[in-house]
Structure 1
Amino acid sequence: MGREVTSRTFSRADRRLFRQKVLMCADALERMLKEGAFRDDIDPPRPMLGMEIEFNLVHADMMPAMSNNAVLESIGDDAVFQTELGQFNVEMNVKPGPLVGDGTFDLERTLRASLSVVDARIHRHDAQLVMIGMLPTLELEHLDREWISANPRYELLNEQIFAARGEDIELDLEGVALEGRPQEQLRADSNSVVPEAACTSLQLHLRVAPEEFAAHWNAAQCLAGAQVALAANSPFLAGKALWHESRIPIFEQATDTRPLELENQGVRPRVWFGERWISSVFDLFEENSRYFPALLPEVTDVDPAAELDAGRIPDLSELQMHNGTIYRWNRPVYDCADGKPHLRIENRVLPAGPTVLDIMANAAFYYGALRGLVEADQPVWTRMSFNAAEENLRAGAQHGMDAEMYWPGVGTLGADELVLRRLLPIADQGLTAFGLSQKARDRYLSVIEGRCLTRQTGAAWQRAQVVRHEDAGMNRRDALAAMMRQYVENMRDGSPVHTWRV
């Protein structure tokens, strides 16, 4: 959800002071990195699988349920479930579980049980949770400003983005044609950032030592395209058949503070893949402070340098606030826990769903492949251009399993072949290095293998179902609702998406 805000208005002086404080925080972070402030006095913590899952809320007719406040009151666990931007969203913060032995099985069971309890509690609101990257029954009318959640941060963020942009947000995306149908296109203006709420994701966190951060971030950037192709689950919005993972371009457009003229000048967008490989985590925070004006310039009276001089660990509040409004697909995170600072990579490219087993498999593949790439004798990012990694992400989002991707040593090949021939063995090696059991590795990586062999992702299944219903005489609206009813039934059954009947 991001850090809360207390201010409701900001002055010009606030913005200038916030810029100064962000630079002071960056200087403090650089000093902490040089002085070894991130060293643990005890053995490093065991590797943990940490995730956040964003959900949509739907009524029985599969239309969005604008009831997240009532739903959260019924759930009654604000440490785990919280609001998200749209009134049809909630977010779940999953307690981290160990990436060793059979520990992931306990996490999987706990997650299933928690979701069953929640669905029972919110049933009286005619609401149910749906894990999906983009709710197909969302219409443009559901994306108006009135549907922003009742949280000061979101309303203020909306105001600041539109103040910076100076005009309505333009959604413009040419789709990938359904089988036997013409290409479709979404073109619409939005008076709010609620289209961002249409983009519901699975976010994976990994705590990383400072000296290892650059290698892990670079490797995560290399993996992003394959991750998205494997997990695509967002093919429809506002009745239109768009990309296999439409979350990627829609999120980019929904939070774009640049009018066309600034975009033409090459001003960087706030949803950003990046533009280069890095050599230090500081590179990313330095880019944030240099390139991006503040959206939520809330200032504290804490001097981070004075905190360090006094032997205390600073919160770096302004740096954290600023970082939370720059939406890198692999975002660096500075945080403190138990009085000690740490760094994390927040992997943001994946959609939610379709099932608990699918998201566990997506997580296992990411963590395993990431470690395997980092520990390789020759780093993959030294053998491919940064642009190639970005193009892989774009191809994976647009075409899913049909995407063609570049990989060093093999050239251009299909996403399924890239995963089967190269990345699955690397992921197995990485999970083995973490200490995950053979049984757990087989369970999760076999799901990834199954998707590659059947070429069926959540997006591919949704698209095929809609074609089937339309061929039987349904209009698009009814076909999407019928598809969603089957999707929800399959999601609850829990069988991985590659086994779903078309």
Structure 2
Amino acid sequence: MGQEIQQYHFSSADFDSFRERVRNETLRLAEWFRDGAFSTRDRVIGLELEAWLIDREAQPAPINTEYLRTLNDPMAVPELARFNIELNVHPQSLTGTALSKLHADLRRTWEHCYHVAEDFDARLLMTGILPTLEDRHLVMANMSEMKRYRALNEQVLLQRQGRPLRLDIRGNETLRTEHRDVMLESASTSFQLHLKVNLDRAARYYNLAQMLSAPLVAVSANSPYLFGRDLWDETRIPVFEQSVEVGGHAAASHGPVHRVSFGTGYVHGSLFETFQENCDHFPVLLPIEYDVPPEQLAHLRLHNGTIWRWNRPLIGFDDDGTPHLRIEHRVIPAGPTLADGIANAAFFYGLIFELGERDEVLEWRLPFATARDNFYAAARHGLEAQVTWFDGKRVRMQALLVDKLLPLARRGLERLELDGDDIEHYTGIIRQRLRNGCNGAAWQRAWVARHGRDWQGLTEACLERQRTDTPVHEWDI
């Protein structure tokens, strides 16, 4: 989905040809799984950070075309809306000082991007949902000037047979609105983690990423408000799910399998099951034909890029062309700071490694339906969520994080032989956040409780504190 395309109107022949290519590439991928053809250079990590361009009144600034042209940095690319961009980092081997290196790499890019934004009389902000965002900002005039987004919009609406996309979110308050385009998707911005995995452990790590989605979304929640309404702790979750609501075959907009979802279950044998599901159950959205060798799996990978599971398996390639497997963990919102983001990453990588290297079958102790219910409970209620953990035990999320999961994450980072100072620093951020009960969502609500619903004031307060890279648990109100 990151590549530009040359057209956005398609014929039935385009769709037929693309489906055939996806089927053939899926068969080729099946052979790779059978033959163990994937790279064994695992434990490589990376991330993507989506950010907002805002003006001097803290309103969305739809300038990313001219801004990115001036920035001229390959680590920054456009997002769906003209007021959003995505920042990337160089992948790091998960060893030694990988965490602080990621932090420093991201900070360098962030500072460069921030200073260039000032040349446009704008600022750069990281947050799950911009507090000053209004429905009127989410219009086609503010869609990024890339054909792939126009094509996505056209195809989603065609598959919905022209029915508008509706938001219906019931949290502390209720929000209902509808759009005849996909611009609602741009209301949410995230901090996405990547983990390269070996074939023999890939299924286990993927299932664990699903189990750990609830704790990660609870500890990192940073999106309580949308269009002035107090909704979920992580309102990003229902916004994204409802803003591209297109289902599987035979029920384009209301089928049981949706393009943005927690998924349909754990994998049992290998990650290939998800790619087979892509081929069997999801209509093609963007039938772009690439003139490249079939072993690049270009069509399969594009199709996978239009299916937004909260944990998404990816096929990539090492520098020498060897294919590899990655897991993209998509549940974490952007912000409140870079330090908070790297702490969230450390927590995830430590936990998934500590649990993933065990021999026990954890899927038996936490059924998929329970992991899914936990995820939505955590998105709604954050640290206050009541969830069911291993062996059917009911527990408050904050207690689970403090008593069980944070010690496991630290142990996992130690097993990885990461730098001791890094471990102490980043797990310390999580520890203090939990001790204070203060993730980004809690801080935003505390600020509003004191100052009222001054959305510009809240945005400026976030921006001012964000500039120091001081973790959110230390922010005053």
TM above 0.5: yes
Matched to 2:375, the amino acid is L
Letter in 1 for 2:231: L
Structure 1 residue 468 displacement after superposition: 1.3
State how 1:97-176 maps to structure 2 within 5 Å: 97-166=92-161, 167-176=163-172
Give the Cα separation in 2 of the matches to 1:266 and 1:324.
Answer: 19
SS in 1 for 2:90: strand
Alignment partner, residue 467 of structure 2: 492
Are the aligned partners of 1:333 and 1:343 in contact in 2 as well (CA < 8 Å)? yes
What is the correspondence of 1:5-154 to structure 2 with a 5 Å cutoff?
A: 5-40=5-40, 44=41, 47-77=43-73, 79-154=74-149
SS of 1:365's equivalent in the other structure is helix
Assess if the C-alpha contact under 8 Å between 1:70 and 1:125 holds in 2.
Answer: no
What's the counterpart of residue 327 of structure 2? Answer: 345
The reply on whether 1:294 has 2:284 as its aligned counterpart is yes
AA of the residue aligned to 1:363 = A
Q: State the secondary structure of the residue aligned to 1:133.
A: coil
> For residues 301 and 401 of structure 1, what CA distance do their matches in structure 2 show?
49
1:63 alignment partner AA: Q
Shift of 1:62: 1.0
- Tell me by how many angstroms 1:237 deviates: 1.1
The question of whether the paired residues in 1 share the 8 Å contact of 2:39 and 2:324 is answered with no
Per-residue deviation, residues 69-121 of structure 1 (Å, max 9, x unmatched):
122122121x1000000011000011123322223223322322332222112
Structure 1 unaligned regions, length at least 5: 177-183, 305-313, 471-475
1:380-399 paired onto structure 2 within 5 Å: 380-399=362-381
1:159 positional shift? 0.7
SS in 2 for 1:3: coil
Of residues 260, 263, 266 in structure 2, which corresponds to 1:271? 260
The aligned length equals: 473
How much does 1:209 deviate? 1.4
Does the Cα contact within 8 Å between 1:3 and 1:324 map onto a contact in 2? no
1:318 to 1:190, Cα distance in 2 relative to 1, 3 A: same
Partner of 1:315: 296
Contact 2:55 2:121 in 1 (8 A): yes
Contact preservation (8 Å) 1:131, 1:353: yes
Counterpart residue identity of residue 354, structure 1: P
- SS of alignment partner, residue 313 of structure 2: strand
Preserved contact between residue 373 and residue 379 of structure 1 (Cα < 8 Å): no
Residue deviations 1:432-471 (CA, integer Å, cap 9, x gap): 222212211111111111111111110111111112112x
Does structure 1 retain, via aligned residues, the 8 Å contact 2:247–2:255? no
Per the normalisation by structure 2, the TM-score is 0.95
Tell me, in whole angstroms, the C-alpha distance in 2 between the residues paired with 1:104 and 1:119.
22
| Overall identity of the aligned pairs, in % | 40
The one-letter amino acid of 1:456's match is C
Amino acid across the alignment from 2:460: R
For residues 146 and 100 of structure 1, the distance between their equivalents in structure 2, rounded to whole angstroms, comes to: 45
Asked whether the 8 Å contact 2:92–2:102 carries over to 1, the reply is yes
Q: In the alignment, is the contact (CA less than 8 A) between 1:401 and 1:414 conserved in 2?
A: yes
Q: Deviations over 1:178-199 (max 9, x none)?
A: xxxxxx2111111211111111
Deviations 1:268-306 (A, max 9, x none): 1110211221121111001111110000011246673xx
- The Cα of 1:409 is off from its aligned counterpart by 4.2
Given that 1:358 and 1:496 are in contact with CA atoms closer than 8 Å, whether structure 2 keeps it comes out as yes
Distance (whole Å) between structure 2 residues aligned to residue 379 and residue 373 of structure 1: 10
What is the CA–CA distance in structure 2 between the aligned matches of 1:211 and 1:411, rounded to whole Å? Answer: 30
Match among 204, 209, 213 for residue 220 of structure 1 = 209
* Distance in structure 2 (CA, Å) of the matches to 1:9 and 1:19: 16
After the TM superposition, which residues 167-186 of structure 1 pair with which residues of structure 2 at under 5 Å, given as runs? 167-176=163-172, 184-186=173-175
CA RMSD of aligned residues (A): 1.8
CA contact (8 A) 1:98 1:104 kept: no
Counterpart residue number, 2:199? 210
Partner of residue 366, structure 1: 348
C-alpha distance in 2, partners of 1:300/1:56?
Answer: 32
Which amino acid letter does the alignment assign opposite residue 488 of structure 1?
L
